[in-house]
Amino acid sequence: MQELIRKLLVDLGEDPAREGLRDTPKRVEKAYRFLTSGYNADIDQVLNNALFTVDYSEMVIVKDIDFYSLCEHHLLPFFGKCHVAYIPSTKVIGLSKIPRVVDVFARRLQVQERLTNQIADTIRDKVAPLGVAVVMEATHLCMSMRGVEKQNSFAVTSAMQGSFRNNARTRMEFLELIKLRSAVPGPRDSAAARYECVGED
């Protein structure tokens, strides 16, 4: 990877031998390895004995989870807040594990919608709850830095499953509790998608 970064610097019109850039290929490789470390993460290892059997069926919410990801179309960051809720059936997951699950999928090349779905699907598969909801609000640097539709560079995506999809009251309760900075699309509404980086340019 370091040789590729050196070539990239030359292609950008830079001199990779100048002092400030000499160690850049090494640093960039290290940064990218970290930012894509989710590819090597094993979700079962991350959850490692953090599932507990309980007699509890109220909504569990972890909100304002900071996340940082890379847009797969431009390899530029998108980042923001993730809110996760589920209603346990027989199992709960250790609360500290939920941000870890978010990181496993955020630290890959992503589009915001797939990232949102992967987090929800993982909780559905591992916890088997009555319902799960994930909402992500993010700023996409590939849009804001390039001046593309600045006003829409803040994108909201949601994945609602089970009782969050079927029961409007459950969904409203969740949305009220996370108090979004902007409107969230309904469960079958993909309106948010058009505000995201869609890789056209």
- The pair of structure tokens assigned to 9 is 């610097």
Question: How near is the Cβ of 117 to Zn ion at its closest, in Å?
Answer: 18
151 is an active site residue: no
Q: Compute the distance between CA of residue 98 and CA of residue 94 in angstroms, rounded to an integer.
A: 7
Q: How far is the CB of 149 from Zn ion (least distance, A)?
A: 12
Residue 201 to residue 182: CA distance in whole angstroms? 26
**How far apart are CB 115 and Zn ion at their closest, in Å?**
13
Respond yes or no: is residue 72 known to be catalytic.
yes
CA distance 116 to 110: 10
Sequence-ordered list of residues with C-beta below 8 angstroms from that of 190, at least 6 positions apart, any chain: 113
Complex with Zn ion: residue 61 or 76, whichever CB lies closer: 76
Letter for the amino acid at 16? P
Query: Interface with Zn ion by CB under 5 A: which residues?
Result: 71, 73-74, 142, 197
Closest to Zn ion by CB, 84 vs 138, is: 138
Catalytic residue among 83, 110, 137, 142: 142
Nearer CB in complex with Zn ion: 9/142: 142
The dihedral of CA 147, 149, 152, 157: what is its sign?
negative
| Residue 140 annotated in active site | yes
Instruction: Give the amino acid at 88.
Output: P
83 a catalytic residue: no
Q: Which of 74, 82, 118, 197 is catalytic?
A: 74
The residues assigned a catalytic role are: 71-74, 112, 140, 142
